[in-house]
């Protein structure tokens, strides 16, 4: 079917007009984050410490320098360097929706809390909560608040799409639409500045790398490993597919479908940021730079952290190191200042 000239213009003319000017003109004071262990500071820990009960709407998440990165998360680095408020609703182990790729966590007697079923509702509850002196709990004016979502590491991974463990009939496009469904609710609650962080190059993590790149999937998950190289390439294909959908679906939803009137979107290219570190490590990491190994070495007797940690890209087989997170934070600040070469902007 041929596209009409009107539709073609709606897409191409809109793309040509998109700019970062609206971001450059704002003085942001708050950042609200949704995601998984790449962003979570201690929210899942609250569930585990309280027999599966969630934090109350007015819970203030403490800063944590011992996260899945081995130190501070990228979001905490952003907050510390810019002095903006951080309201972090990310949960370690989360997927976008448990109706697509549920994963059980016995310590909380439930599935991992997901973005759509837990994180966004928790944020909405907090946004309506009041303090003891009847002030709004969250300081989130629409023109001065950034909303970010970085989700997909678990959705595309083990016990999910990678191992064909998704709910029957569900597909990767369902996961992508879940992300936009979550943003629908945040938009309806007043959100107007959104950063979608696309999926990292998971095929370069030690977990999913090929054997010649130091990949450990076959040793960590021997019961799930068939052809480790094939597994790495399958992950690469899934990540590339997701990121291509983000690249084209975002302007389609914003410019053509008019799904978010008066909103401003940026798609932050996490893939290219981490790929750049991987292939040009000496520009980012201490010497001798190491992009195939990882800091946290574990066996049946416990875990030991290797020295010279600023030289490592990865903290463990799946998670970026806190050094890498500090680089991500710098790039994130560039995005919301409207100065990033790693972002496409739509409004």
Pairing status of strand 302-305 against strand 296-299: antiparallel
How many alpha carbons lie under 13 Å from residue 4 in its C-beta half-sphere?
3
Q: Which two tokens stand for residue 189?
A: 């609650």
Q: Which residues contact 45 (CB under 8 A, 6 or more apart)?
A: 92
pLDDT of res. 9: 47
pLDDT of res. 18: 65
CATH top-level class of 19-346: alpha beta
Using a 10 angstrom Cβ sphere, with 0-12 exposed, 13-18 middle and 19 or more buried, the burial of residue 113 is: buried
Binned at pLDDT 50, 70 and 90, residue 132 comes out as: confident
What are the tens digits of pLDDT across the range 201-244?
Answer: 999 999 999 999 999 998 888 888 889 999 999 999 999 999 99
Distance CA 76, CA 305 (A): 22
Domain residue ranges of the chain, discontinuous segments joined by +: 19-346
What are the tens digits of pLDDT across the range 12-55?
Answer: 444 544 679 999 999 999 999 999 999 999 999 999 999 999 99
pLDDT of res. 313: 98
Residue with the two structure tokens 């109350």 = 56
Residue with the two structure tokens 């403490």 = 62
Dihedral, 142, 153, 270, 220 alpha carbons, nearest 10: 150
Contact status, residue 342 vs residue 273, Cβ threshold 8 Å: yes
Element (H, E) at 172: helix 172-188
Residue with the two structure tokens 């837990």 = 118
What are the tens digits of pLDDT across the range 50-95?
Answer: 999 999 999 999 999 999 999 999 999 999 999 999 999 999 999 9
**Averaged pLDDT score across all residues of the chain:** 94
Q: Which two tokens stand for residue 122?
A: 């928790």
Beta bridge partners of 193: 264
User: Looking at residues 109-134, what average pLDDT do you find?
Assistant: 96
pLDDT of res. 13: 47
Whole-model pTM? 0.94
Which of 5-19, 93-107, 145-159 is predicted with the least confidence, judged by mean pLDDT?
Answer: 5-19
């Amino acid at each position: 079917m041929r596209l009409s000239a009107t539709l073609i213009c709606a897409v191409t003319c809109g793309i040509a007009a998109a700019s970062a000017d609206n971001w450059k003109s704002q003085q942001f004071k708050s950042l609200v984050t949704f995601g998984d262990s790449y962003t979570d500071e201690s929210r899942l820990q609250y569930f585990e410490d309280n027999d599966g009960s969630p934090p109350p709407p007015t819970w203030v998440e403490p800063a944590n320098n011992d996260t899945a990165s081995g130190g501070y998360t990228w979001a905490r680095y952003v907050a510390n360097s810019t002095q903006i408020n951080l309201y972090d609703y990310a949960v370690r182990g989360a997927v976008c929706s448990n109706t697509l790729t549920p994963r059980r966590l016995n310590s909380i007697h439930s599935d991992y809390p997901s973005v759509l079923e837990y994180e966004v509702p928790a944020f909405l509850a907090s946004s309506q909560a009041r303090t003891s002196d009847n002030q709004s709990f969250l300081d989130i004016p629409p023109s001065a608040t950034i909303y970010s979502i970085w989700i997909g590491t678990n959705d595309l991974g083990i016990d999910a799409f990678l191992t064909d463990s998704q709910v029957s009939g569900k597909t990767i496009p369902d996961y992508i639409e879940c992300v936009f469904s979550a943003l629908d609710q945040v938009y309806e609650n007043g959100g107007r500045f959104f950063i979608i962080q696309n999926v990292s190059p998971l095929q370069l993590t030690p977990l999913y790398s090929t054997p010649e790149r130091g990949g450990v999937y076959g040793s960590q998950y021997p019961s799930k490993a068939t052809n480790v190289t094939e597994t790495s390439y399958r992950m690469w294909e899934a990540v590339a597919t997701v990121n291509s959908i983000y690249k084209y679906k975002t302007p389609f939803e914003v410019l053509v479908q008019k799904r978010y009137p008066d909103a401003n979107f940026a798609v932050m290219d996490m893939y290219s940021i981490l790929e750049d570190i991987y292939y040009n490590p000496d520009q980012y990491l201490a010497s001798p730079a190491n992009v195939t190994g990882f800091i946290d070495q574990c066996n049946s007797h416990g875990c030991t952290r290797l020295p010279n940690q600023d030289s490592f890209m990865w903290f463990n087989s799946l998670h970026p190191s806190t050094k890498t997170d500090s680089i991500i934070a710098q790039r994130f600040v560039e995005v919301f200042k409207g100065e990033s070469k790693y972002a496409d902007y739509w409004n």
